[in-house]
A and B are shown apart, each in its own frame.
Chain A
Amino acid sequence: MTRTAALLLALLASLAALPAFAGPYGLSVAILILYFAYAGQAWNVMMGFAGQLSLGHALYVGVAGYVAGGLFFHYEVPPIVGLPAAVIACTLFGLVIGFLAFRFRISGVYFALLTIAFAEFTRIGFDHLAWTGGPGGMFLKVAQRNTWDLANFRGPPAMYYYAILAMCSLAFVACFFLLRSKAGFYWQAIRENEDAAQALGINVFRWKMAAVAASSAMTSFAGVFFAFYYNNLFPEQIFNISRSIEIILAPVIGGVGTLFGPILGAVVLTGLSEGITESLAALGWEIPGVKQVFYGLVLLGVVMFLPNGIWPFLSRKFKL
């Protein structure tokens, strides 16, 4: 434990120092890694801890982005106020979906498909919503500045980096304590055997709802971050099923249900993606599609040979 803690502190310290020596490109890749690590961590609460497979997490990213972005766009409400509104909206969305699903005891693959259906339903809905600009997109006013303005979430790339780093660290700590709390134990019991958990007197419905609420609330932070980092939102992009898949890639590759899995997975996958692009460029292979084929092959290899993900394998190997 102490060894892990020491390692963790060293990691955090080096990450905090990163903007000093990484160039802007390195920083933009690091932001991407941390973004996927954070969103993966949020997804992990629902799937990894409580065993509820969501394939529609882009829904929460999108709703949060649109709520905070829309308030800013229409009424100049700063994101510091927009964020709580987004969290509330997302949690409500999550609770409604959870309520409908768990009431009827929908689980497993059916639940997963239900989450896809809700995300797609919402995507097309937003395509017909005039308030958000519909498919024309919502463009937030960009104000370039080199001073930090956290309330308006405007500043240099380093600010976004530290913001997402802070989100990741807090999410990590929160998940650490969640796993060791009453809720965490109940969730794991439900994940392992729902009927047995029920028989032990755990209110399965209530605790599954809690998992959905926690996960969707956490994901909403990622959505607000996304909205103000990119400054434009299109339903077609943000709610797309491919975005949902991107969110779950990191934790699945890293190790579902583990604290380090989502982080490790995000590092490996983003690094892999950039690495393949760079090596193909060095080779002069400019065939469109070849990069994604290599990426797919690596994914295939990892899921085939490391079924529990990379982190469990590493931690066993190095006794972390």
Chain B
Amino acid sequence: MDRRQFTKSAAALAAAASFPGIVAAQAQKLKVGVILPRSGYLGFIGQSCQKGADLAPGVIKELLGVDIELMNADFESNVDTARTRAERLIQEGANALVGAFDSGASTAIAQVAEQRGIPYIVNIAAAPQITEQGYKFVFRNFQTAGDIVRNGLDLIGELFQATNTVPRTAVYMHVNDTFGQAVTKGIQAVLPQRTQLPFKIVDTISYDPAAKDLTVEVSKAKSTNADFLLLVCRLNDAIALRREMVKQRWNPMGVISPGSPGMYEEQYFKSLGKYSEYSISNVPWYNPNAKLTKIVEKAFVKQNPKEKLVFHGLNAGFTFEAILIAADAFKRAKSTDPKTLADAIRQTNITDKMTLGGPIKFNPKGQVEGIGSACVQNLELVPKVVLPTAAAEAKPVFPAPYYKT
């Protein structure tokens, strides 16, 4: 938060202190505890998600006419803190919890939420185990790692069809962390079933998430002479890796992520400039043409005049939708009672949504099925949806122009 925001919140605090009556009169509002990693090693993603949370109360008031109040907590990328912050928010009167991006923290919060009978809506976290524990109060509006891979691989097939290309070989590189491991397992399981895909993986190279220098990894990948690079990455390693590709003059047909963050993020463009172009990520994404997207975008630009929604799309979009789910349930339940609220969430059927895919409906495990992915390609220095065609903003470019046969 900058100084301007600080003055604003200080003023709000002073106002609340001097007019206690007003605060009491507005008690019929939903208190949503938002737990995100705004400092520590996940800091940049947590702050990106927070942008989606910050605009939620205004948009939701306009959309549904209900009042929600956010209670923000930073879990400092630390599981212990995630747990105590969750307890603290509930004690402070949170009616529902939203967060936490990280799978470890999300499982910790889920246990607290279940114990206390407070609905918890996971914004982003892909570990399938979170919704496999038989919880009654835990919900997730995000794809599991398996879904991400299935959708991502299918989109690769569509991409090849749309561009009339038949790459025969791929080298698979992945970051060896929680997420990279889950996606890799998914690929090993799903790829053999996708016989329509023309390529085979000639080498798999896993690298340390802490590695700052990826020279060896890229040299090794380059020496395979694969047609394209299939990459599961995070942000900083994606930048280092792309740079190394340029330095080592390795120009495959393209770089395609079957479902990982990194290459659509603002920093990737800022750090790499023109070398960020043509990278492709098949990820859960928002529909740029949806009505709700336009509303959210307007609110986003108003709150962050110097920034573009597209660079926070996934993080802010899913965080916003998690809060929307809580608010929608609150509107129907007309109550902040957690049990009633959880029952209402179970009945959720939001068709007017921001992210791609079918309506938001929870299965008995509390998982939304049928969340869509998009093939997002970096074109003219922004990530653009190129597939599915219904949501497309541009045509896919594959192979990348730098590719020489």
Q: Which residues of A come within 8 Å of B, CB atoms? A: 23-25, 27-29, 32, 124, 127-128, 133-137, 139, 141-142, 144, 156-157, 230-232, 234, 236-237, 274, 282-289, 291-292
Contact B47 A230 (CB under 8 A): no
B175-201 interface bits toward A, Cβ cutoff 8 Å, 1 = contact, 0 = none: 011101110010000000000000000
- 20 residue pairs bridging A and B, Cβ less than 8 Å apart: A24-B115, A25-B87, A27-B87, A29-B84, A133-B181, A135-B181, A137-B103, A137-B178, A230-B83, A231-B111, A232-B129, A274-B84, A283-B13, A284-B13, A285-B6, A286-B72, A287-B1, A288-B39, A288-B46, A288-B74
Chain B positions within 8 Å of A139 at CB level: 107, 127, 129
Contact B13 A127 (CB under 8 A): no
Contact B108 A25 (CB under 8 A): no
Contact A141 B133 (CB under 8 A): yes
Contact of B180 among A28, A128, A135 (CB under 8 A): A135
What 13 additional pairs, Cβ within 8 angstroms, besides A24-B116, A144-B111, A291-B74?
Answer: A25-B90, A136-B178, A144-B115, A157-B115, A230-B79, A232-B108, A237-B79, A274-B84, A285-B6, A286-B72, A288-B38, A288-B46, A288-B74
A28 with B83, Cβ < 8 A, contacts A137-B104, A288-B47 known: yes
Tell me, rounded to whole Å, the shortest Cβ–Cβ distance linking A265 to chain B. 16
The answer for the CA separation of A134 and B129 in the assembled complex, in Å, is 15
The answer for the CA separation of A289 and B44 in the assembled complex, in Å, is 12
Give the residue name and chain of the A residue nearest to B132 (CB).
A139
Chain A positions within 8 Å of B180 at CB level: 135
The answer for the CA separation of A291 and B112 in the assembled complex, in Å, is 24
Contact B177 A286 (CB under 8 A): no
Chain A positions within 8 Å of B208 at CB level: 124, 127
Contact of B9 among A28, A144, A284 (CB under 8 A): A284
Give the residue name and chain of the B residue nearest to A286 (CB).
B1
Give the residue name and chain of the B residue nearest to A27 (CB).
B87
Q: Which residues of B come within 8 Å of A, CB atoms? A: 1, 5-6, 9-10, 12-13, 38-39, 43, 46-47, 72, 74, 76, 79-80, 83-84, 87-88, 90-91, 103-104, 107-108, 111-112, 114-116, 127, 129, 133, 135, 176-178, 180-182, 185, 208-209
Tell me, rounded to whole Å, the shortest Cβ–Cβ distance linking B113 to chain A. 11
Tell me, rounded to whole Å, the shortest Cβ–Cβ distance linking B148 to chain A. 14
Contact B111 A136 (CB under 8 A): no
Chain B positions within 8 Å of A287 at CB level: 1, 6
The answer for the CA separation of A156 and B209 in the assembled complex, in Å, is 36
Chain A positions within 8 Å of B133 at CB level: 141-142
Give the residue name and chain of the B residue nearest to A289 (CB).
B39
Tell me, rounded to whole Å, the shortest Cβ–Cβ distance linking A69 to chain B. 13
Contact B80 A127 (CB under 8 A): no
Contact A135 B91 (CB under 8 A): no
Tell me, rounded to whole Å, the shortest Cβ–Cβ distance linking A314 to chain B. 26
Tell me, rounded to whole Å, the shortest Cβ–Cβ distance linking A286 to chain B. 5
Contact B178 A234 (CB under 8 A): yes
Chain A positions within 8 Å of B90 at CB level: 24-25
Contact B209 A292 (CB under 8 A): no
Give the residue name and chain of the B residue nearest to A232 (CB).
B107
